[in-house]
Structure 1
Amino acid sequence: MGSRANRVGERWNQMGCEEKSSVIQEEIKRVSKLPSNSVYAVHRLKVLNKINDLLSGQRTLSQEEELELLFTQLSL
């Protein structure tokens, strides 16, 4: 991972569950305003919804790692 990705990953790890959820909800609202036929918007919403699903319950270590990777790739 690059330096920016490391900073984003560190930021993610420092957030509480409610803060993570809030960040994801705000991004979902923002992306939902984009045109519905936008490939970018459709893909981003899928990723955001996957993150939301992972945040909503107990996670295995591999799911926790997937969650961190997804968030890092979003570059929020």
Structure 2
Amino acid sequence: MATGQWSQKRCDEKTAVVQAEMDRMTKLPAHSNYATHRMRVLNKILHLISIQRSSSQDEELELLFSGLSL
């Protein structure tokens, strides 16, 4: 497997972490700019996890995760 490509187990673990964070964000006020932005980023991560990614998309996914500090 090439560097940067995720195994299915790792994707499942990351998806669970993202879902938990999304649950946490739904408890914040709906008008919160922080929560709205973070939900957009989390949705982007879920989208990238769910598709067959190019190497640039793998890099984007890694950057998104590192930026969120999950």
- Structure-2-length-normalised TM-score: 0.86
Measured against aligned partners, the alpha-carbon deviations of 1:19-53 in whole angstroms (never above 9, x if no partner) come to 01000000000011100000000000000000000
- In the TM superposition, 1:1-76 aligns within 5 A as 16-76=10-70
Q: Distance in 1 between matches of 2:47 and 2:16?
A: 13
**How many residues of Structure 1 are paired with residues of Structure 2 in the alignment?**
64
More helix by proportion, 1 or 2?
A: 1
Over the aligned positions, Cα root-mean-square deviation in angstroms equals 1.6
SS in 2 for 1:59: coil
Q: Which runs of no fewer than 5 residues in structure 2 stay unpaired? A: 1-5
Structure 1: distance between partners of 2:44 and 2:26: 15
Structure 2 Cα separation of the partners of residues 18 and 67 of structure 1: 14
Structure 1 SS opposite 2:13: helix
Higher RCO (C-alpha under 8 Å, 6+ residues apart): 1
Partners in 1 of 2:69 and 2:36 — Cα distance? Answer: 17
